[in-house]
């Protein structure tokens, strides 16, 4: 790494990033994230409170620290254990941190500017006594929290070698109330840690299967509001939407192609559920399956050439795959029990996550497509809707806890697990992790 050059390019890139994505700030109820299981050798890191002349709307260091901690890869130091609170490399008392066994320290400042804040931070390797990374950027008041997530991404990438996915968003469906006609369904988009939730849709009718467009600007979903299920595509910023598949039978389970020009979805226009590709520009449908069984839950391979889906053509539900150019379905799940459904590829195409059912209940399973290895990664007996983080390291899914359905996350190797309790007492389901923000 060449620090100077990297800092310069990051400064420019950081400015664009920081200014690019407006996000209103609002008072939040507490979101609790419980790490139920952590990695074996988490990396010690201390994110020292960023120095600021006045009170800030967000505790930047706390947000960064929480991000790193919930990745399960870091052992974050609480402020009361810190020997001092330096704000720059020069202020760090290296022997004091070394004696505590602290390997990495993050220091920084937040300075008010005409348009918001200037944020500066340095990541320091205590044992080498040198800076690993320095960054300076401008942000708005509204974006300060998002900036903290971006800083967490930078630190994560510097120390693990993998791209961070903290400055991303997630979508999910909530349900309040009980009994037919008294339920309220909402479609929500929030930051990856559950903060800044926004309601995209509120409806007395069921909402299913939210899916992100690859540019992060649109969400596709299915809704029963027109008495039968129709698929909509909604712009996140404006709220404008259009019905892209409706009418005869059930239209559902949309998934955007990696290039954003197509949707895979399931329709039952001829009575039986089949997999289709919808070309969004022309509105034309291409039918990919033709089988009297249930074919549903299509999802694109990262190369955009194949679609995996759930089918019970062999009796119970299993995962199959078709190519856009060859409609012969190939079965993917063998000897993995009687129930495998709702597949999702990791971005690198190496893994396929699914709902795996058997005598032990319904759990999230991850199939390594390269070596055939299979691992159950969730501990719940009612886990559903796995969704990969865009960096492929974590999976979000819904699970049934004491209070109903809630969100949980797990690392792809199953080692790091966490439960995410969103405020408000709603049932939370069908999480979809959004793409990297551009």
Partner 1 sequence: MYKRVLQVLVLVVAGSLVYGCSKNTKEDASSTEQGLSPEELAAQTQGTAESQGLEGGAVNEGMGTDLTGTVGSDRIIYFDYDSSEVREEFRPIVAAAVSHLGANPAAVVSLEGHTDERGSREYNLALGERRAQAVQRQMVLLGASATQIRTMSYGEERPRDPGHDEAAYGQNRRVEVAY
**Choice from 38, 72, 137, 357 touching partner 1 (CB under 8 A):** 357
Tokens of 279: 């070309």
Q: What gap in Å lies between CA 293 and CA 329, rounded to an integer?
A: 13
Query: What is the footprint of partner 1 within residues 10-69 (CB under 8 A)?
Result: 22-24
User: Is 308 among the residues that bind partner 1 (CB under 8 A)?
Assistant: no
Cα–Cα distance list, 291 to 257, 313, 324 (Å): 23, 7, 16
User: Is 351 among the residues that bind partner 1 (CB under 8 A)?
Assistant: no
**Choice from 296, 346, 387, 427 touching partner 1 (CB under 8 A):** 296
Helix H or strand E segment including 96: helix 94-99
Query: What is the footprint of partner 1 within residues 372-391 (CB under 8 A)?
Result: 382, 384-385
Q: How far is the CB of 359 from partner 1 (least distance, A)?
A: 12
Helix H or strand E segment including 75: strand 74-76
Asked if 320 and 342 touch (Cβ cutoff 8 Å), the reply is: no
Query: What is the footprint of partner 1 within residues 214-243 (CB under 8 A)?
Result: 217, 223-230, 234-243
Q: How far is the CB of 253 from partner 1 (least distance, A)?
A: 5
User: Is 131 among the residues that bind partner 1 (CB under 8 A)?
Assistant: no
How many residues of this chain bind partner 1 (CB under 8 A)? 69
**Would you say 85 or 382 has its CB closer to partner 1?**
382
Query: What is the footprint of partner 1 within residues 405-434 (CB under 8 A)?
Result: 429-430
- DSSP letters spanning 149-184: HHHHHHHHHHHHSS---SS-EEEEEEEES-STTT-E
**Would you say 125 or 235 has its CB closer to partner 1?**
235
Q: What gap in Å lies between CA 223 and CA 210, rounded to an integer?
A: 10
**254 by DSSP, 3-state: which?**
strand
- Spatial CA neighbour of 68 closest among 137, 170, 172, 167: 167
Q: What gap in Å lies between CA 221 and CA 213, rounded to an integer?
A: 11
| Residue 72: alpha-carbon gap to chain centroid | 15
User: Is 261 among the residues that bind partner 1 (CB under 8 A)?
Assistant: no
Which range, of 74-82, 158-166, 294-302, 367-375, touches partner 1 by CB under 8 A? 294-302
**Choice from 90, 178, 359, 402 touching partner 1 (CB under 8 A):** 178
User: Is 206 among the residues that bind partner 1 (CB under 8 A)?
Assistant: yes
Residues in contact with partner 1 by CB under 8 A are: 22-24, 140, 142, 178-181, 183, 189, 198-206, 208-209, 217, 223-230, 234-243, 246, 249-250, 252-253, 266, 268, 271, 273, 294, 296-297, 310, 312, 316-317, 339, 341-342, 355, 357, 362, 382, 384-385, 400, 429-430
């Amino acid at each position: 790494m060449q620090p100077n050059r990297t800092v310069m390019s990051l400064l420019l890139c950081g400015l664009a990033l920081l200014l690019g994505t407006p996000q209103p700030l609002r008072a939040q109820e507490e979101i609790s994230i419980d790490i139920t299981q952590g990695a074996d050798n988490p990396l010690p890191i201390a994110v020292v409170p960023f120095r600021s002349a006045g009170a800030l709307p967000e505790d930047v260091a706390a947000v960064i620290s929480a991000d790193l901690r919930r990745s399960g890869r870091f052992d974050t130091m609480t402020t009361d254990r810190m020997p001092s609170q330096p704000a720059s490399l020069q202020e760090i008392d290296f022997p004091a941190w070394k004696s505590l066994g602290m390997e990495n320290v993050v220091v920084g400042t937040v300075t008010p500017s005409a348009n918001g804040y200037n944020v500066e931070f340095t990541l320091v390797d205590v044992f080498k006594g040198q800076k690993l990374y320095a960054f300076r950027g401008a942000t708005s008041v509204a974006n300060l929290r998002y900036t903290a997530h971006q800083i967490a991404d930078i630190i994560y990438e510097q120390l693990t070698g993998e791209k961070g996915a903290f400055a991303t968003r997630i979508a999910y469906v909530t349900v309040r109330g009980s009994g037919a006609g008294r339920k309220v369904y909402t479609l929500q988009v929030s930051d990856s840690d559950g903060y800044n939730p926004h309601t995209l849709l509120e409806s007395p009718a069921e909402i299913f299967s939210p899916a992100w467009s690859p540019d992060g600007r649109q969400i596709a979903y299915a809704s029963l509001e027109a008495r039968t299920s129709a698929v909509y595509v909604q712009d996140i910023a404006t709220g404008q939407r259009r019905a892209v598949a409706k009418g005869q039978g059930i239209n559902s389970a949309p998934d955007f192609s990696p290039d954003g020009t197509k949707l895979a979805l399931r329709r039952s226009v001829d009575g039986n559920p089949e997999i289709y590709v919808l070309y969004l520009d022309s509105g034309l449908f291409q039918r990919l399956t033709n089988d009297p069984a249930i074919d549903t839950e299509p999802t694109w391979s990262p190369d955009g050439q194949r679609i995996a889906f759930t089918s019970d053509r062999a009796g119970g539900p299993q995962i199959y795959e078709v190519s856009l150019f060859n409609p012969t379905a190939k079965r993917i799940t063998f000897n993995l029990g009687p129930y495998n459904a709702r597949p999702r590829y990791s971005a690198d195409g190496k893994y396929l996550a699914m709902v795996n059912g058997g005598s032990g209940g319904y759990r999230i399973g991850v199939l390594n497509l390269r070596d055939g290895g299979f691992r159950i990664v969730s501990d719940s007996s009612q886990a559903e809707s796995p969704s990969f983080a865009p960096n492929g390291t974590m999976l979000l899914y819904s699970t049934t806890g004491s209070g109903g359905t809630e969100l949980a996350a797990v690392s792809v190797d199953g080692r790091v697990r966490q439960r995410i309790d969103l405020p408000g007492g709603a049932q939370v389901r069908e999480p979809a992790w959004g793409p990297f923000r551009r």
